[in-house]
Amino acid sequence: MTTIRDDLERRLAAIAADAGRPVFTLLYPEAARAAADAADARRRAGIALGPLDGAIVSIKDLFDVAGEPTTAGSALRRKAAPAAADAPVVARLRRAGAVIVGKTNMSEFAFSGLGLNPHWGTPGNAADPSRVPGGSSSGAGVSAATGTSDIAIGTDTGGSVRIPASLNGVVGFKPTARRVPLDGAFPLSPSLDSIGPLARTVAACAAADAVMAGEEPAPLRTASLAGLRVGVPRGILFTETDPAVAAAFEAALARLSAAGARVVDTSIEDLLARMTEATAAAPIAAVEAYEIHADWLDAEMAAFDPRVHARITRGRSMEAGTYIRMMRARAGLIRDCDTRLADLDVLALPATATPAPTIASVEADDAFNRTNLLMLRNTMVGNLFDLCGLSLPMPDLSLPAGLMLLARHGQDRRLLEIGAGVEAVLG
């Protein structure tokens, strides 16, 4: 019988053999070996701490680990004070028996949907290393897809779990905001940030989510799709969609319909327009990121990725009153969206409008900015309207892209059950 320690050594060897692809920024081989040995000892004694006991897990490079600086993908943070304690999610994973193998690469300060990083290097996409991995949880997506971790923990502020899941062909789950504690995770935008897993199955994501949320993990029920109410928000969210992605999406809908789901077009164009108007002065993420970085944004400008610095600087000019009005308007739109979705189980749309573009194609700033906005467009809806979201790989694509399901806030477990049903239908 293969031991967890043997499995870990195989993963560590695979990471070492692929050292030219900077998926990890830091490894914990000795701590991971100790955790694997402990899990093996429990297994021999017939004891299990739960579904994550012995699972090989990676964590995004913005979670505190006691005794080391939290770099958040930035050269600037290499000189930060060491963390005093593990982030709560890290501590919960350890208590659940997870074998934490290392920290994964990311976009600097989690502020990009493409996953490029000029400081640590860019991990190439799992399907094609010449293509972007998706961000900001870039290393997480590649690690989950290549099998160097069973579960990769990321964060999602505008799609940073679901985008790399979509582009690398794995499952990615964004929970309702504040379901999982954000303490000990370097913030981008506290109003939008959430912590979620990437893995090869919905069940693995559900187990990790339960542990991080402080719940007792339980076997995931697979929801029947018979009578499932699926809304498709056609309109602006379907513009500029790659033809292959569009065809795969329609084929996925046909499979859901054949399994008994009731698929209907559902317009949210008015809600999207009102949200665009409410946030016209500056993106929420930029405003909140500026407050976080204000003390060193100018003094340490040369240490930033210039593109990240430019996006953070967009939040500089917003006055407090404007920000408060913007957030009040958003709160009203969250309520209106919740009412709109009351007669549906999920919204369905492509997680990303395109598969992963090549890294070379986004070298110029104009191309980068245009592609980054398109990559974030669909997933951002889930963050702005405080929905929970799941990206599932769509079959029959030469390059991966995800089917995204969005559900009302607080419906996390129900969404995961639906996702398990959809996963079974899509194969």
According to DSSP, residue 131 is labeled B
pTM as predicted: 0.98
Residue 160 known to be catalytic:
yes
By the 8 A CB rule, do 245 and 169 touch? Answer: no
Which residues neighbour 250 within 8 Å (Cβ) at sequence distance 6 or greater?
none
Q: How many residues does the chain have?
A: 427
Active-site option among 60, 103, 149, 391: 60
By the 8 A CB rule, do 8 and 99 touch? Answer: yes
- Number of Cβ atoms within 10 Å of the Cβ of 58: 31
- Number of Cβ atoms within 10 Å of the Cβ of 310: 14
Domain coordinates in residue numbering, the chain: 4-212, 229-279+328-426
Report residues of the chain scoring pLDDT below 70: none
Q: Do domains 4-212 and 229-279+328-426 have the same CATH topology?
A: yes
Q: Domain 229-279+328-426 is of which CATH architecture?
A: Alpha-Beta Complex (3.90)
Q: Tokens 């090989």 — which residue?
A: 56
Active-site option among 58, 107, 136, 137: 136
By the 8 A CB rule, do 391 and 404 touch? Answer: yes
pLDDT in tens, 1-22: 899 999 999 999 999 999 889 9
Pairing of strands 56-60, 99-104: parallel
**Sequence letter at residue 284:** I
Q: Output the CATH code of domain 4-212.
A: 3.90.1300.10
Q: SS3 breakdown of the chain: % helix, strand, coil, rounded to 5?
A: 40, 15, 45
Residue 19 pLDDT = 86
Residue 79 known to be catalytic:
no
Please compute, for residue 373, the number of CA atoms within 13 A of its CA located in the half-sphere on the CB side. 9
pLDDT in tens, 218-255: 999 999 999 999 999 999 999 999 999 999 999 999 99
CA-closest candidate to residue 63, choices 34, 83, 36:
83
pLDDT in tens, 154-180: 999 999 999 999 999 999 999 999 999
Residue 1 pLDDT = 80
Distance, in Å, from the CA atom of 346 to the CA atom of 389, rounded to the nearest integer, reads 9
Active-site option among 107, 160, 166, 194: 160
CA-closest candidate to residue 253, choices 274, 227, 232:
232
- Quote the radius of gyration of the chain (alpha carbons, Å): 20
Residue 76 pLDDT = 94
